[in-house]
Amino acid sequence: MIVGVPKEIYPGERRVALTPAVVPMLAKAGLEVAIEGGAGIDAGYPDAQYQEKGAKLLADRAAVFAQSDIIVQVLCNGANDKNGASDLALMRRGQLLIGFMRPLAAAEAIQEIARTGVTAFSVELMPRTTRAQSMDALSSMASIAGYKAVLIVASTLPRMFPMMTTAAGTITPSRVLVIGAGVAGLQAIATARRLGSVISAYDVRPAVKEQVQSLGARFIELALETQDAQDARGYAKAQDEAFYAKQRELLGKVVAENDAVITTAVVPGKKAPVLLTAEMVKGMAPGSVILDLAAERGGNCELTHPEETYVAHGVTIIGQINLAGGVPYHASQMYARNLTAFLQNLVKDGKVRPAESDDIIRDTLIAQGGEVVNGRVREALGLPALVAS
């Protein structure tokens, strides 16, 4: 079977789905790699490196789709809402498609994929189990985004992060608040701590308190009553508006005490909850910085402008998206390892394993035989549940 790697076409996207290092690993699993010329250059992987590892170089995108049994991408249609639909005409019935697709937030795009007849697997739906950990691309990219967020904040904030003793006296450390202690938030905490800032963190899930404290941050506890704060996959669950209103009221004072705030709160398939109001931004000191990692889903800050940097009340609000794409070399390396582990589990003895044989395959499968087959995506589309034959 041939695994095809087309060049990413989302504007500004520099990652590549597979790196040269994984080509021999896939060959051992009986999979040949065919890559579009130049697909890895922007990530730091020239064509020659792929050829040295045994990959086949193809001249154009159409050839990759035509000759490949499996197509792997970073951003497939759905996750690529700019021009991802242009690939639909290149897909064929029975071909496999694997990548980010944003299945719960872009369900209509999943219907478009399904109509091509491909068998599509969305990496966002990877189960959060020990066995699937090596395949968890969502966590890999979130970790990079958390790291990159801190670097952007540090370069924007008109203050230094660490405490320093200088000839001009002692410089006090910057204070940073991270809202949301998932993978991205925890990496942001760890990175900001290494740079020397004083870190605080808040999360609706009390269970993450120990993780936050283990990284040297203070865990903010608010007098809020919450039930069922996280779902079975470990993600925060959406709360009602009364909860968020009370949360904003209590968070206001905490936000005002910090020089920078990094927000990471998202709920799968839903608009990001607004945690920072315009009034809370107004209460921050001039020169403060907010980086909203939820910008792509509407933003945790009321004043966030997705894909833009905006100044309000003297506070810089950064709505940059796709932060993982800003570290393309290592982001591609991590993503390629996740995909390789997934492919090694998916294909055995030259054949694709049936979905019913494995929970990882079953949970990530979203389209097959011309229709959407994933229950969560069908629910998002308002389609009836499939009846088992």
Backbone angles phi, psi at 177, to 5 degrees: -110, 130
The active-site residue out of 68, 73, 95, 139 is: 139
Q: What pLDDT does residue 237 have?
A: 61
Instruction: Judge whether residue 145 has pLDDT over 60.
Output: yes
Contacts for 196 with CB less than 8 Å, ≥ 6 apart = 161, 162, 163, 173
Query: Both tokens of residue 146?
Result: 């958390």
93 is catalytic: no
Query: Both tokens of residue 262?
Result: 């990094």
Cα–Cα distance, 263 to 260 (Å, whole number): 10
Q: What 3-state DSSP class applies to 127?
A: coil
Percentage of the residues of the chain whose pLDDT score is greater than 70: 95
Report all structural domains of the chain as residue ranges with CATH numbers, in order of start. Answer: 2-136+328-381 (3.40.50.720), 142-321 (3.40.50.720)
Question: Is the sign of the CA dihedral 87, 88, 89, 95 positive or negative?
Answer: positive
**What does the pLDDT average to over 249-267?**
92
128 is catalytic: yes
Cα–Cα distance, 356 to 354 (Å, whole number): 6
Instruction: Judge whether residue 230 has pLDDT over 80.
Output: no
pLDDT-derived band at 99 (thresholds 50, 70, 90) equals: very high
Instruction: Judge whether residue 228 has pLDDT over 70.
Output: no
Q: What pLDDT does residue 389 have?
A: 56
**What does the pLDDT average to over 135-143?**
97
- Give 87 or 269, the one with higher predicted confidence: 87
Q: Which residue is it, tokens 């936000």?
A: 255
Q: What pLDDT does residue 238 have?
A: 62
The active-site residue out of 235, 244, 310, 329 is: 235
pLDDT digits (tens, 9 = 90+) for 65-98: 999 999 999 999 999 999 999 999 999 999 999 9
The active-site residue out of 42, 87, 136, 203 is: 136
CB-count burial class (<10 Å; 0-12, 13-18, 19+) for 210: exposed
Percentage of the residues of the chain whose pLDDT score is greater than 90: 83
The active-site residue out of 67, 86, 133, 213 is: 133
pLDDT digits (tens, 9 = 90+) for 163-182: 998 899 999 999 999 999 99
> What is the radius of gyration, based on Cα positions, of the chain?
22
87 is catalytic: no
Q: What pLDDT does residue 146 have?
A: 98
Bridge-based pairing state of the strands 365-368 and 119-122: antiparallel
Q: What pLDDT does residue 241 have?
A: 72
Write down the pTM of the prediction.
0.92
**What does the pLDDT average to over 132-158?**
97
The active-site residue out of 47, 51, 128, 329 is: 128
CA distances to 6, 45, 50, 80, 332 from 37, rounded to whole Å, are 8, 11, 10, 21, 16
pLDDT-derived band at 388 (thresholds 50, 70, 90) equals: low
Contact call for residues 342 and 363 (beta carbons, < 8 A) = no
Nearest to 17, CA basis, from 119, 121, 108: 121
